[in-house]
A and B are shown apart, each in its own frame.
Chain A
Amino acid sequence: MNNYLDPYRDTGLLHLWAERLQKYQGKPLKLMEVCGTHTMAIARYGIRTLLPERIRLVSGPGCPVCVTPSYYINSAVALARRPETIVATFGDLMRIPGDEGSLLEAKSLGADIRVLYSPLDALKIARDNPERQVVLLSVGFETTTPIFALAIDKASQEGLNNFTVLSANKTMPEVLKVLAGDPTVGIDGYLYPGHVSAIIGTRFYEELAEKYGVPGVVAGFEPLDILTAVAALSEICNEGRHTVRNLYTRVVKPEGNPRAVQAMERVFEPADAVWRGIGRISGSGLAIREEYARYDAWKVFDLQIGEYSEPEGCRCGEILKGTKSPGDCPLFGTRCVPENPVGACMVSSEGTCAAHYKYGGIR
């Protein structure tokens, strides 16, 4: 078995922590996690049912697939429909509905769409199919973006001429600032994403804590990581301290991974981005730099970025900000279900509403 997973899933220790958390007597707290993988882990292990009533753990906009506007899928589907195109994508994007259906539906109608585990594997598809156009779908935060950057860089070094990337990558700092600075959101503390932090380090979180008074704990993804992080964060919040604590030191260093950041910055530059459910946040996105324009599918295929609006009745914006819960949305579980998602929070299996629907806690 894996020695670096099992100790963090130790049933005995987990039960003891769960008991401890129940004893919390401090002030009521609203804590926010901002990572789709945290959302999934929390739902999968039933973490919320272990928390006392006073500690509310909400899911913020941490699912990069959920916050990608539907025009992205429309462009991907349109490209997939061209007979000469091979679309390479993570599985996460396959079921997201666009105006003309999802990638999965396009595939069932004959489009050549391949699910990959790594962006780097797309290069092999391009090399093996010189007469086809390979379009790699690139969605993600700072954990994944350096890897897309590597892929583009390699393509450039090899002089591949049948490989492009359709990018909608985003970064965390700006949205964290927006939420921390919004009094209606009222976050007491952040549970920070362990793997994004492994790349960008923890200094930015300290700035946030200082400037906005919102403390945080950097957490790993095993159940023990999450429980201890929630406990530590509630202690810090309760004591009114504006500090950041790293509880994922086995992976996260304060300076992060500068090489990964450099790789990312070599290929991508900051740009404005639209977050489905929230709207435009300046400087929160990434665009492929001009030097790599021949690998930028938006430019190579001259794709139009569509207009974007929220569906009627959808409460995703408020759910992503943690001001409403899935149950507060009139569409949840009725018009909006995993098989037929209406808004951002239901589209990905790690979206707040999807995780809530799928795993629904039993008290």
Chain B
Amino acid sequence: MCLAVPGKVTEIKGKTAIVEIMGVLREASLELLEDVKVGDYVILHAGCAIEKLDEAEALKTIELFKELKDIYHE
């Protein structure tokens, strides 16, 4: 029920953006978010950006996943 993908905002016109996912372009509503800028990454679901992707957190998460593997299930 949550099929959504991270995409890059390439253009903004009012409350609508063009989001790009691996070369694929789709118009998306930005009405559920504030302060979205071109270049931001958003989570795209059913033609609407439902959240911004926090790129710093994304990097931290990968590092965390790498570390956790050494801690869990010893």
Question: Is there a direct interface between A and B, measured as CB atoms under 8 Å apart in the complex?
Answer: yes
Interface residues of A (CB under 8 A from B): 1-2, 4-5, 7-8, 13, 16-17, 20-21, 23-25, 35-38, 62-64, 90, 117-121, 140-141, 143-144, 146-147, 150, 193-196, 198-199, 221, 224, 228, 231-232, 235, 247-252, 257, 259-260, 263, 350
A248 to B58, CA, bound (A): 9
Instruction: Please give 13 more A-B residue pairs, beta carbons under 8 A apart, in addition to A23-B73, A141-B1.
Output: A5-B5, A24-B73, A37-B1, A90-B46, A117-B47, A120-B29, A146-B50, A195-B2, A195-B45, A195-B50, A196-B1, A231-B72, A251-B43
Instruction: Indicate which residue in B1, B26, B32 contacts A64 across the interface (CB closer than 8 Å).
Output: B1
Question: Provided the pairs A36-B1, A259-B32 are in contact, do residues A121 and B72 lie with their beta carbons within 8 angstroms?
Answer: no
A24 to B73, CA, bound (A): 5
Instruction: Indicate which residue in B41, B43, B60 contacts A195 across the interface (CB closer than 8 Å).
Output: B43
B25: chain A residues at CB < 8 Å are none
Is A13 a contact partner of B65 (Cβ separation < 8 A)? yes
Is B51 a contact partner of A198 (Cβ separation < 8 A)? yes
B65: chain A residues at CB < 8 Å are 13, 17, 224, 228
Q: How large is the interface on B (under 10, 10 to 19, 20 to 34, 35 or more residues)?
A: 35 or more
Sorted nearest first, the 5 A-B pairs with minimum C-beta distance are A118-B47, A195-B2, A4-B6, A250-B58, A250-B57
Is A143 a contact partner of B1 (Cβ separation < 8 A)? yes
DSSP class of B's interface residues: helix, strand, loop or mixed? Answer: mixed
B3: chain A residues at CB < 8 Å are 37
Is B47 a contact partner of A120 (Cβ separation < 8 A)? yes
Q: Which of B20-74 contact A (CB under 8 A)?
A: 21-22, 26, 29, 31-34, 41, 43, 45-48, 50-51, 53-55, 57-58, 60-62, 64-66, 68-69, 72-74
Is B29 a contact partner of A250 (Cβ separation < 8 A)? no
Is A249 a contact partner of B1 (Cβ separation < 8 A)? no
Closest to B68 in A: A228
Is B53 a contact partner of A1 (Cβ separation < 8 A)? no
Question: Provided the pairs A7-B62, A20-B72, A224-B65 are in contact, do residues A251 and B51 lie with their beta carbons within 8 angstroms?
Answer: yes
Instruction: Indicate which residue in B1, B26, B60, B73 contacts A140 across the interface (CB closer than 8 Å).
Output: B1
